[in-house]
Structures are given as C-alpha cells and as structure tokens.
Structure 1
Amino acid sequence: MTTPSQIATLVVTLLCLSGLQSNAQTLTSSNLPIVIIDTEGQTINDEPGIVTSLSIINNASGINSITDIPNEYQGKAKVEFRGCSSQNFPKKPYGIELRNSTLVTESIDRALFGFPAESDWVLNASYTDKSFVRDPLTYYMANQSGRYASRVKYVELIINGAYQGIYIFQERVKRDANRVNVRSLNPDDTSPARITGGYIVKVDKNCGDFDPNHVWSSNYMSPGGTIPHQWATHYPNDEDITAQQFNYIQGYIDEFETTVNSTSCCNATNGYSKFIVEDTFIDYFLLQEATSNADGFRISAYLSKQRDADGGRLSAGPAWDFNLAYGFLTTPFDGNTQTYQGWRYSAPGDGTFPVPFWWARLLTCCQYANKLVTRYKQLRQTVWQTNTLLAYIDTQYALLNQGSLNRNFTKWPIIGVQVWNDQPSYVGATQLDEVNQVKTWLTNRLAWMDANINSLLVEPLATGALSTTASAIGQGQTAQLTLAFTGSGPWSYTLSPGLSGSAVSSPVTLTVQPTTTTTYTLTAIRNGCGSGTASGTAVITVLMPADLSLAFSSDRRTASVGEPIQFQLAVTNSSPESVSLVQLENRLPPNLTFTGSSMPGVTAVSEVVSMTTTNLAAGQTMLFSYTVQATAEGTFRNAAQIVSASLPDADSQPNSGTGDGQDDMAETDLRVGSSVSLFVSPNPNQTPLPPVLSNQPPTDPTLADLSVALVSSQLAVLPDQPFSLSLIISNRGGAAAGNVGVQAELPVGWQLTSNASLTVSGQVVSGTVPSLGANAQTTVVLPLQASTAGTVQAQIQSSTPADPDSTPGNGYTNGEDDTASLTLRVR
C-alpha cells in the first residue's frame, strides 16, 4: 500500500493532467445547513489548529440562505486538518472544537443539530466516497442495532467565502456520557479501584500528532502480518494520561491477548469472557463484515474499558471510518471471485497492518460463534433487512440531490475520475452510479452472508427434546420423562413448571410425581456453546385412585376326591371412579384341578385360573364362579389376587402376592378326606414383606438381666414318690453375670433326696451358679419327695453385676422377675 504522501502526489498529478482542478462555485441557498468558517486571515493547518469564527445556518423551514442570520451557532471554534491519508486530498477534512468567544482558549459545549452537547466535532469531506453514504449508512446500522456510532448531518461548507462542497458533520470519537460512555479518568485516579477505568484505546496506524510513549505493539503475531498489530491510547489524551494509568491499560490488554492466545481462551470462567463484553464484539464484527470494510478490524478500530465498578471489561467500538467499505475497492480478496464474497476478518490485508489474531480466535469458541450467528440472523430479520437499508440510502440520495450534489461535483469534478490509486476502486460514470453501486453491492453482500453465516459455527447449537411414555398415573405414583440432547454435553435444562437440572449424557430420564394433572414443557436448553433449541411437551394425567377388594368362597368346606367343588370370587369397586380391565388370578394348589366355568371371562392354563372384566363401575361387585375337583386327599388352602387394573389402588398393589394381607387378595380353605397333607396355592410374585421389628428397648451391653422360673417333672405326685424340681435361671441382659446365688424354700414335709452341690438349712435350699453369660440360661435341679401338698418359692439371692429391674434376696412375694412359685398336689 502506498503512503499518504504518495497518494496526495498521485491525486494532485491526476487532477492537473486532467485539467480537473477545483472550480469556483457559488452557494446562495441550500436545503442543507450551511457552515461558514472565517479564518480571519489565518491559514488552517494540521496541528495545533487556529481559532476562527464559525457560523451555522439551519432554518426550521429547511431552506437556508447564505444571507440568513446564523441560528444554529455563531461564535468561535478552533479548526484544524484531521485524518491521515484523507487530509492529503484536495478537499480537506476538518476537526472543530467550539471555543468561548471571550476566552478563546476555553472549549464550550453546544448541542448542534439536536445532538447531545459537546465541543468536539468533525467535518468529514467524503472526498473518495462519491456516494456520500458509506459512513452515514454504517453508523445508522450500528445505531439501529443498539450500539453507539457517530450522529451525522449533511451540510455545505464555506471557508473564507469560498464554497467547499458537501460535508458530513459528525461527532468525534470522545469520552462522553452521550458518546463513548465510560467513567472519566483524571491524572490522580491511580488507586486500585479508580485506575481501572475508563479508557478508550484503538488499533491503528501512526499518523498525525501521536505520542510514541503511548503506543505499543502486541506480543503476538497475527495471520498474514509481517509485524504485530499496534495499540494506542485515545482517552485519556497524551497530555493527561499518567505512566501508571498507561501501564495499567497496556497490562490489561496484554493479559486479554495472552488469554485469548492460550488453551483457556474458551473457558467460561477464565477465558475471553473475563475480559470483554461479548455482545459488543459480536455486533462490531458483524458490522465490519456486513460492510466488508477494507480497513476493518485493523485501522481506526476503537475499544473502550469501563471502570471495574461499572463492569470493567473491554467493549468493541464505536465504528469509525468506512470510506473503503461496500466494495469501494474492486479487487476481490481472500480467494474469492467477487468483492462482496469472503470473510474480511480472515483476509490479512497489508501485512504491516494485520487484523488482530483474536478476531479469528474468538470464533473457535462455540459459545461465541453460535451467539454471533444467532445475532446476525436476528438483525437480518429486524433492523438489517435489505429493503430497510436500501430505503435509507434512497432517502440520503434524495436529500442531497436537490442541488447540493451538483454544486459539490462542480466544485470537485471527480465523477468518472479515479482518485484512489494504490488499489483499484470503483468509478461510476455518474453520481447516481456511485449510489447504485453501494445498493447493489450491499444487496449481494447480505445475501452472501445469509448463505454463509452458518459456516462460522464451530458446532450446531444444542437441541433438547422432551417426551414420555406415560399418559396417566394414579395419585402417589411416579412417571418418567425423557430428555434427549444434541451437541456437546454437559447440558443444563429448564422445564415448566419450575424444574431445572443438568445432564452429562443423553438421553436422561427424570422421575416426577405430580399430585394433579400436569403439563411439562422443555423451555430452555444450554451447553458450552450457548442457548439451544428446546422442544417437547408431556402431559401427565393424575387419575383418582381405585379401591378394589376381593372375597373368596366355596360351596362346601369338605369334599371327596373327584367331587365337583364350586368356587366364587367377588371383586368390588368401592371407589367413585369406574375401573376398566380388572384382571384376577387364582393359582390352584397342587392336586386341585380346574374343570370348567359357564362364564366367558374365566379361563385356565396350567391350573392358573384367570378372570377379566372390561369395566367395573363405581360401587359395583362382580362375581366369577368356576368348578374344580380334588385329585388327592388333604387340606387345600386356595388364594387369589388382583393382578392388574386401569387405576391404581390406594391401599393395595396389584400382583404383589397373596401373603401380604392386602384387600386385593383373598383365601379360602377346603378339606378332602382325612389326610393330614397340606396343599397351598403357589405364590411366586410375593412382594418381600418388611421384617418384624421388636418394640423392646435395646439390650444394655453393660448390664445383666436375671430371671427365675420353676418347673416340676410332675404336677401331681404320690406320697413319698421321687420327682424333680428345676430352677431355670435366665440372663437376658447384655453382660455376663457371676456368682449367681439361687434359693428355694420347700413346704413342710418336703425333703431333698440328694444334696450334691446344694446347701440345706431347714427347709431352705441354696445353690450357686459361678457364671451365666449374656442371653444364656442354666438349670439347677432339686431331687425331691413330698408327703403333703404345698407351694415352693424361689428367688435370686445374689449376682454380680446387679440386676437393673429386680433386687436380689428381697423376698419371694414382690412380683419381680427374679422370683417364682409353684404349687404341687399330692394324691
């Protein structure tokens, strides 16, 4: 690419060779506002500019005459050349700063053309853009998408009485609540909280009055670049920014670029989203691509950073400088055949001004890419519709084509003349051709992007679909919902009403237990690539429970082998709802054989009798009868149960077995002959019953629990006949007992026949058990003979440890479990 000075030389040479020097043109009136600058004998320069008189005529009638009293502004303004290569063209662009009329070194803010009040403005010459629409259209598209871009107004300019042509009066990129809305940053804002913002930075080339101390190169090369792209600070300006503040913003951007260049770029916590406002980068990217700006991403690319207290991250924009957009350069790029084809971000352009690498790197993150594609489609369906944008262009052309265009191109006779010479550019035969070229190119460009936008997707957006195999359940029952996903997991999902969760595999089953009929709808699905498409509804109907019961009877309780026996099974529906498809089953015991039934709903296979009713009304009882006969003698215990029903039963479960005592099962018994054999109905589907739990307190492992009982070998004996009396000593405690002493008091006339290991004192007999383990039992036997009837009493006399619920040796008649008594009769 040629340098700005080379461009200027080429332009001036071309104009001189063609005899197309600027022509004098008189402006008397215009439908555009008229801006008048009087330099008061001074010459306008680049820097530092000169203070001039400035007048603006902008009548409400829309007709402005050079002789009208200035009503939009009349006062002082500093004026200077602006731009890089653009200020080398014959028609100069200008920067304007409004000044106090009495203290001309002081800037003042004014709300010109209804724009928010400010002091700094730009007069854009739009010399190479003969359509005069490229910048205004782009800023319009940005504004319509919800992003700030410069407000614009077409004007005609006179300097020192000489007509200069049509200019675009617009806002300069500046920190302001109504422009780039970041917090103001003063030189003393160096605390850890305040130094974080706000800033405006840019990726740009060095030109004009820039400070090399406030410029730095990226640490990373970009595709197609021969040098890294270059950063510069824009706000605070070179005079106000401190070294500490410059180091902070450079460090922040370096950290951003290092993160995006790393493997953690797409990480949801520590990746790119930690540093940038994602939506602003997406909208800026789409604007540069929709216009295929040749300078896009790499020159005049502004970004801003809020203070941490306001969000703290980088935002892309505002958009600026689109004179080389919309197919202005006629050479296709990036391997395409048409200028409206190809992605501008992937075209390296001039290697000394490469597109920063992170625009392409961000697109490798599926969440970012999918969000970008979704956003483009949203804009195309709303504010970026082709007809809307073409209508905007037509409106601008109609506004300018009321004499202004003729005056401008009489002053600057460049229609049909090539004025951009380092690369081929479009040259229309008429000014209308220039406008129509933008319209045709834009139509083709948007159509191409429509067809190719999905190519930016890393992977398709996730989808989620909800389904169920259940349609109706009873109260208290559960149902299963199935969620099937596409795309990379894990996924997070939301269902109405009020359900949410996550899944790492697909499909996933959810168990729900609605209490009333409920509609479940999958309302949202999201994975690492962003929000996807959710679909599917499942209606679970909750039915009122049934209340079914069985009764079983036979026409006889006893029978002979081979004799017909009639069984009758009654099923009753006590619920308020009808129940359909109730099926009963009687598994006959062995040696009991089905012989027939006169009822059509009764069948038997392998001695399993089945009965079915298609409908059982509320309150109805239905009887099923059939005959059987025994093939052997014995007692027959016959059982039946309900195995299925259309509605669940509130107090029983179908096919849960015939041994659970529920009212959906019934038994009857029958005796055949005198055999003691027992035959019982098979019960293969018995639901396991819970174990019987003791209601006794747990055993204390530190205590013994002793008791004594008396058992006689005979309750009635002959006089002096030998018999034995057993003292049974039990320990139901958790600890062993030692030295357990036991004592029995015999009636008068009773005596021991042997006293081995026993001690006798009168009628009292004592013995000792050295040790009795936990949950153990032992017996002390007393060999006796008696001459008269009497009552024997016994007690525990002593033990170690003590018994918690009785006291050893405290008598025979206190009712404690360490005492016992037994009365014997002598015949």
Structure 2
Amino acid sequence: MITNKYISKRIMSLFIIISLFIFSIFLAVLLEEDNNNKSDMKIENKFIQKPNSNINTDNSINNSFKSHLPIVVIDTYGENIKADMLWDDEKKYFVPINDDPYIEGNITLIDNENNINSVKDIPKLESKIKIRLRGNTSINYAKKQYFIKLINDDGSKNKQDIFGMGEEYEWILNISYIDKSLIRNYLALSLSSKIMENVPEARYCEVIIKNKDNLEYKGLYLLMESIKRGDNRLSISKYDNKFTASSYILRRDRLDETGVTLNNYGTINKLTPEYLEVKYPYKKDLTEETLEYITNDIDNFEKALFSSDEKEFYKYSDYIDVESFIDYFIINELFSNYDSGYHSTYIYKEAYGKLKMGPVWDFDSAFDNYKKQQQKIDSTAMHDAPWFKELLKDPEFTRKLIERYNLLRKDILSNDNIINYIDEITEYLGPAIDRDWKVWGDFYTSEYLSEYVIDGEIKDRNTKSYDEEINKIKDNIINHGKWLDEDIDSLYQFATFTKDYSIWNELGYFEKTILGNNKETFVKNILAIIYIFIFIASIVYISRE
C-alpha cells in the first residue's frame, strides 16, 4: 500500500533532483560566460588587403597614409610626453619623479570593418587622455612605450571597450625597442592565454604622433591591457577595507619607492631577490591590517618552502595553486624568458583562496634576446628562479610538471603549432614590418646583444634582417624544445627529499581522473559526483520505512 509518507518522500527526492538539475544548468551558463567574457587573441589573414604606404625620410607621413592594421593617433598639442621614473646612479635603481608625469592630450582610434584604415577616416573611438612614458630600462630607448588613461572632459574615467578587450580606461601602448621581431610579446601572450587564466590581451596597431598639422610615424605597437584588478582584467573580488582579508595582486621587481613593499620572510632573510610590491589593493585604500594579512600569507608559504624539515616543507601546497606555478614554469622555460621569476613577475590571490602565479608578462628578452647572456639550449633556467628552486625539491611537483609539459607539447606548445602561428603573425603584419624597420632599422641591425664564445671562437648573436630574426626564434623553439623533450626529467636532480611517492602518485592520478585538469572539467565532474550521490541517497531514503 502506498502511504502519504511514501509519496511525500518521492516528492522530496524529485524536488531535490530537479533543484540540482536547475542549479547545474545555471552553473554551466556561468562557466560558459566566464570562458567567453572577452574576445580571443586571434589574427585573420584571409581576404585582407595590405596597403603599402610610404614613410618619409624624416618619419613623417601625410593624410594619404593607409594600413590594414588599426591606426592610433596621439595628439599632445606639441607637449613632450614625460617619464615618471629616472635612474639614480647612487641608489642603483629607478626613483620617482616628484612632479605629475601625466600630460593631457587626445587619442583617435581608426579601425574600419573592411580593414583598410586611413588617418582621414572617421574614428571608431576618440577620447581625451592623460599620458606618460612607461617602463624602467625601456624609458631610455628611442622607441618609447606609453601608459594611457582615457578621460572625459571633466577628467573622470572614460571606460571604453577597445578592440573587443572589454571596458577599461587604462591602456598600454607597448612594443619593445629591443625586439626586432616585433612578435615576442604577442606570440607568448597569445599562446599563454590558451593555457593560463587572466593573460593580458593585446592587439597590433600602428602609432602616429600628431603635432599640429604634422604626423610622425612611430612604428608598430601593441595596444594592450595593463595588469590590474577588474571585471575585464584580473577578475578577483574587490577590496573592502572594512574587512582584513582581501584578494590581492603582488609583483616581484626592482624597488619602487612609491609603492607598498612587503617586509616578508624571504626578503628579510635574503632568501629571494628583488622585492614584492602590493599592486592591489591600491596604496591609498590599503589598511595596516590587510597589509599584515598579505604579509602573513607570503610568510606562511615561504617558511614552509624554505624549511629543511620535510614535514614542514610539504605544507607549501596548502598555500599555492600548484598547477598555476607549473604552467608558469613551463611557458617561461620553453620560451627562454630569463627575466621571469625575478622581474615583472606577478602573483595574485582571491580572498581565502590560494596563491596563483601570473599573469605572465614581459617576454621582450625571451627566445635568446637577453642582452647579457646567451641562451643555454641544453639546460633549464627556471630551476634557479625564486620559489621554483625550492619547489623542485619536491619530486612530486617535478612529476606533475613533466607530465603537464609533455601534454602541452602535443598541442598548444608543439613545434608545428608555434611555428605555424609565427608564420601567421608575420603574414598578418605584412608591410607594417617594413615600415617599422624603416624607422628603427639602424638599431635593429646594431650590435645590441653580447657575443659568446664556442670552441674558442667568438660568435655574434645579432641578426641583420627580419627574416634572420624570425628564423632565430624558430630555431630557438626547435632546439631548446628538443632538449627539453629528451631531458626535462633532469629536473629530478634538484629533489632533496626522498619520500616514497608511489602512493601519492596513485592518489595524484586518481585526483586528476576524477576531478580533471581544468576548471570546466572539474565543475562537470563534481556535478556528476553530486548527481550520483543524490541518486543513491534518494533511493536509500525512499526505501527506508
């Protein structure tokens, strides 16, 4: 006999299952929105006409200038754009300039749907701006980089969605004078965006400085996102100074006297180079309590990481997102980015979450473009970087790293994929490369990189043409990648602890199989586990008297 109690149990079970189903759909929608909230860093070569406009000998252009790339025109009404930092010979680092470095001006962005852009065209975006030079060493280069704030007539923030990268008011015009290939940052960021979260987006453009009726061609640039907290940037929760705990962004770099520098365990005990600066929360908002909270976070991680006690050491994984550290290592190692880990190195954390490495940044010196030192094809470099040197004491960290490396080399970081993508980028840039080299070619063909000696013979690392430089990058990927493919297990030599990992390896495989390797798979698998649990629980519940 079916009783009212039995019916109520069935109704309750059905209600739970339906609720779970609705919740899973809602979660899937949120996940899809998170994965597609910004445009992909894609380039399109098909059916694009590429006008080959001329640059005059004095680098001026006229109103007939055309490009298949977006054109950015900056007008500062004749005023020179200033730096915010200067090198101090006594202190041996860059120090801030006391005066406000920003000057006001106007920016015009021309980006037509037919991909034929002229300085005479109606702009897609026009805004007042505040602008300054950016960078440290690069401030002294002839080809400048710019930090731009879009503002309204009243000086307020003018957030705009530029080239599909999401609404913001702070933007960077960035291309390294020392990168004659013009692709290092774009190539590395674009590939990294398929591997890691929150990688800054970038779009190629050509930049022109306007002074009254004169137009000066400045070259090929990347208009790109800066690293900051925001819905369309690094998406972590907003700081509320009523609470001590907070999400935050840190950067390891040279000392910045204007910033908030952590007095953390690694710095105090001279275990790590350079300094960790709090980039978010902003200095004007940051309370002493939150600063102490951030410092304690880093202290706890570093005390475990640098501990000689095995049990204490293994607590490091309680504080960090291990997968993000592994991906950061692989990307910067394969691309031979010798600055990574030491300078322009970002770390972030969601409140009550774990520390994550990234976003990746600054590949100017990658692919054997480090001025002072030739790249070592048959060796790793990241094994010596701050924190990573200690992480490699754990053979399980190394095992996961090698497994992840082998997986990525089959697809995103395969030789074929990288080299084909290099060809796509250079084809897309087309005549813009020639225009940039016409302006800056004297430096590009100079003796910037140091020489090296092999078998007693002095070798020159400096290429003399664009094609030579592109081939150098390709050779770098092929040769260093080949060595890593064959010898990446040499990283085990840095393991100091000899704990038996047979059980942990099996647990790691089980965890990866059940929970997956990425956020999307993780959510799907967790939902499947919940479904199974609820289904079994419902049967048990109904079956009970």
Structure richer in strand, relative to its length: 1
Q: Which amino acid aligns with 2:399?
A: N
The 2-side partners of 1:26 and 1:74 are apart by 20
Match of 1:31 among 51, 68, 71: 68
Structure 1 residues 50-59 or 38-47, which shifts more? 38-47
Relative distance call for 1:23 and 1:206 in structure 2 (3 A) is farther
- Post-superposition offset of 1:422: 11
Report the counterpart of residue 382 of structure 1 in structure 2. Answer: 411
The 2-side partners of 1:205 and 1:320 are apart by 15
Report the counterpart of residue 89 of structure 2 in structure 1. Answer: none
Question: 1:371 touches 1:530 (CA, 8 Å); kept in 2?
Answer: no
The 1-side partners of 2:119 and 2:494 are apart by 61
Match of 2:238 among 184, 191, 203: 184
Report the counterpart of residue 211 of structure 1 in structure 2. Answer: 259
Report the counterpart of residue 416 of structure 1 in structure 2. Answer: 445
Report the counterpart of residue 148 of structure 2 in structure 1. Answer: 96
Relative distance call for 1:199 and 1:155 in structure 2 (3 A) is same
| Corresponding residue SS for 1:51 | strand
| Corresponding residue SS for 2:208 | strand
Question: 1:23 touches 1:412 (CA, 8 Å); kept in 2?
Answer: no
- Post-superposition offset of 1:243: 2.3
Relative distance call for 1:490 and 1:123 in structure 2 (3 A) is closer
The 2-side partners of 1:422 and 1:54 are apart by 41
Q: Which amino acid aligns with 1:170?
A: M
Equivalences for residues 422-437 of structure 1 within 5 A: 426-437=461-472
Deviation digits for residues 362-390 of structure 1 (CA, Å, limit 9, x no counterpart): 11112211111111011011211111111
Report the counterpart of residue 300 of structure 1 in structure 2. Answer: 344
Relative distance call for 1:23 and 1:446 in structure 2 (3 A) is farther
Gaps of 5+ in 1: 1-21, 348-354, 461-486, 493-523, 533-827
Question: 1:303 touches 1:314 (CA, 8 Å); kept in 2?
Answer: yes
- Post-superposition offset of 1:210: 2.7
The 2-side partners of 1:230 and 1:152 are apart by 27
The 1-side partners of 2:494 and 2:74 are apart by 57
- Post-superposition offset of 1:528: 11
Q: Which amino acid aligns with 1:218?
A: T
| Corresponding residue SS for 1:294 | coil
Report the counterpart of residue 612 of structure 1 in structure 2. Answer: none
Relative distance call for 1:215 and 1:409 in structure 2 (3 A) is farther
Residue 249 of structure 2 is aligned to residue 200 of structure 1: yes
Deviation digits for residues 15-49 of structure 1 (CA, Å, limit 9, x no counterpart): xxxxxxx9424260011100001112332112331
| Corresponding residue SS for 1:203 | strand
Identity of aligned residues (%): 29
Relative distance call for 1:320 and 1:302 in structure 2 (3 A) is same
Report the counterpart of residue 368 of structure 2 in structure 1. Answer: 327
- Post-superposition offset of 1:219: 3.1
Residue 228 of structure 2 is aligned to residue 174 of structure 1: yes
Report the counterpart of residue 603 of structure 1 in structure 2. Answer: none
Residue 137 of structure 2 is aligned to residue 85 of structure 1: yes
TM-score, structure 1 length as denominator?
A: 0.48
Match of 1:238 among 279, 283, 286: 283
Match of 1:450 among 466, 476, 485: 485
The 2-side partners of 1:457 and 1:288 are apart by 19
| Corresponding residue SS for 1:218 | helix
Equivalences for residues 214-613 of structure 1 within 5 A: 218-222=267-271, 228-263=273-308, 271-308=315-352, 312-329=353-370, 339-347=376-384, 355-356=385-386, 358-401=387-430, 403-413=431-441, 414-419=443-448, 426-457=461-492, 488=500, 491=503, 525-526=506-507
Deviation digits for residues 547-601 of structure 1 (CA, Å, limit 9, x no counterpart): xxxxxxxxxxxxxxxxxxxxxxxxxxxxxxxxxxxxxxxxxxxxxxxxxxxxxxx
The 2-side partners of 1:287 and 1:456 are apart by 16
Gaps of 5+ in 2: 1-56, 85-100, 453-458, 514-545
Relative distance call for 1:58 and 1:213 in structure 2 (3 A) is same
TM-score, structure 2 length as denominator?
A: 0.72
Q: Which amino acid aligns with 2:116?
A: I
Report the counterpart of residue 48 of structure 2 in structure 1. Answer: none
Q: Which amino acid aligns with 1:116?
A: G
| Corresponding residue SS for 1:144 | coil
Q: Who wins on radius of gyration, i.e. which is larger?
A: 1
- Greater than 4 Å deviation, 4+ residue runs: 212-217, 264-268, 330-333, 420-425, 527-532
Alpha carbon RMSD of aligned pairs, Å?
A: 2.9
| Corresponding residue SS for 1:140 | helix
- Post-superposition offset of 1:453: 1.3
- Post-superposition offset of 1:116: 1.4
The 1-side partners of 2:143 and 2:290 are apart by 38
Question: 2:371 touches 2:450 (CA, 8 Å); kept in 1?
Answer: no
- Post-superposition offset of 1:246: 1.7
- Post-superposition offset of 1:83: 0.6
- Post-superposition offset of 1:237: 2.3
- Post-superposition offset of 1:420: 5.3
How many pairs are equivalent? 425
Question: 1:370 touches 1:530 (CA, 8 Å); kept in 2?
Answer: no
- Post-superposition offset of 1:277: 0.6
The 2-side partners of 1:236 and 1:384 are apart by 34
The 1-side partners of 2:186 and 2:251 are apart by 21
The 2-side partners of 1:332 and 1:214 are apart by 30
